[in-house]
Structure 1
Amino acid sequence: MALLPVCLLGLCGMVVFVAAGLFLFRALKHTPTARPKDDDVFLMQARENLLPWDSDPLEDLAACWQGQWNIASGVGMRGWARGAVKSLGQPEAEGYLAFSLDRPEAKIAHLSIWTSNEEIAMEFHLEKTFPIHGEALIRVNNQTFGRIHIPEGELFDATGNPAGGYKRSATVIHSARRVPDSYRPVTMHDRTIAELTSVWMRQPYRFRGRYYRAITPLPAPWPALRHIRAGLDPDETTWLLAVIGLELFYNATMQGDNW
């Protein structure tokens, strides 16, 4: 009788071992495809249809992007995503920002963001993936612009001097009720220039490798930014686009299959 608990313990251990092996096999078997070969064409067409960035559209940016993605869940967090950030006032339009994300390895990712007149490239180099620790290097129109330390949210300019900060919210529950709690200040030289949300929607939904429109109505999109300071200079606007890029990276690769 004394051997019975030992046998049960051994049996439980075998079950856990087999389950872990099956999970690992499934994760590796479903490794996502590489960056699509038509990505450059997709982005060129998307950029041609972007809403013009000739006024001040920051207040009209929705915390919602529409596009495609294929990200491995569980092991590795590798894959790709591409799409456009939508407009609140013109939801049927292409949007203001087109982007492409390529994450060939868990600790390396490349994100490109286009407006109608600017290109921002971000290279993510991560030391840890759970939780994320590392930095994002930023280039604007092929010129070094700065970097973001993750997760501290410290912003540094091209010369390495402190430029500001953005400590993103830890809110990851995808619920419209959590949106008001998800905004965090973006500061430049000790001044708050805007607040950015960390809760974003993706459209269409993805389920088991296929793409679907939502069956139930989605909530109306909410602003990506709020309390935007008047009279932003070009560098401040670019920093806001860079921290939006940080949120796109998190949303596309870290927050599950749906919004």
Structure 2
Amino acid sequence: MKKLLMLMITLGLAVIMAACNGDSEDNNNEEGSGEGDQSEQAAQQQQEMPEPDLENIPDVVAEVNGEEISAEEFKTTYEGQFQQMAMQYQMSGQELNQDELKQQIAEGMVSSELLIQEAGNRNLEASNEEVDEKLNELAQQSGIESKDEFISALEEQGMDEEEVTSQVQTQVKVDKLVAEESGDTEPTEEELQEAYDQFKSQQEQMNQGGEDGEQAEVPSFDEVKPDLKAQVEQQKTAEATQTIIDQLREDADVTINL
């Protein structure tokens, strides 16, 4: 039932949130209302948290090379992301366009299914050790101390341990697929320096736009280098993943029924 949920969380959510946040920031910049109006609007919207609109969802939301993405799978994924997205939009004073969000989530689920299928076509495997390592990684990302606690948390949401393990096996296989295609993602010193220059410029602009008084000191390159390294590696992996998806989509038979 929920085979795509974890993949959506790990592969698609960041992309969807970035796109939606960008839209809301643009809209926010266009509005010229005063601070009092914005505060009043935000207060009103906090009292009017929207509900997910899941009426008229077709029984088959999408077909990917003959594999169906059911309404049940879509609704589970949509509900899993809707509340966070709605809260972010409320904080920005904007209204969430659920039709756009549905399309974005459907596209993300199609992309995930394409990756799952390609990993299967290549007969990629996931060992028990690799599954345990991924479980621990996901637990840490969720702020949970151990994989056992992570599994227990998912069981409270209605997923049994066998289902969790199956999803993580799939995630490991997809990770291997992306690693095969992306090659070496180790950042060069030039890339790290470029990332630091951007970070430093952003920090300096924030200091200039802040209130009068003591300005925050910008950390040195060596201090933030580990974080920059992780950021650049993540960017390279995301770009490689999107390249794979684009290539698979060219030859795929995809229908979205929303």
User: Greater helix share, 1 or 2?
Assistant: 2
- Given the two structures, how large is their TM-score scaled by the length of structure 1? 0.23
User: Greater strand share, 1 or 2?
Assistant: 1
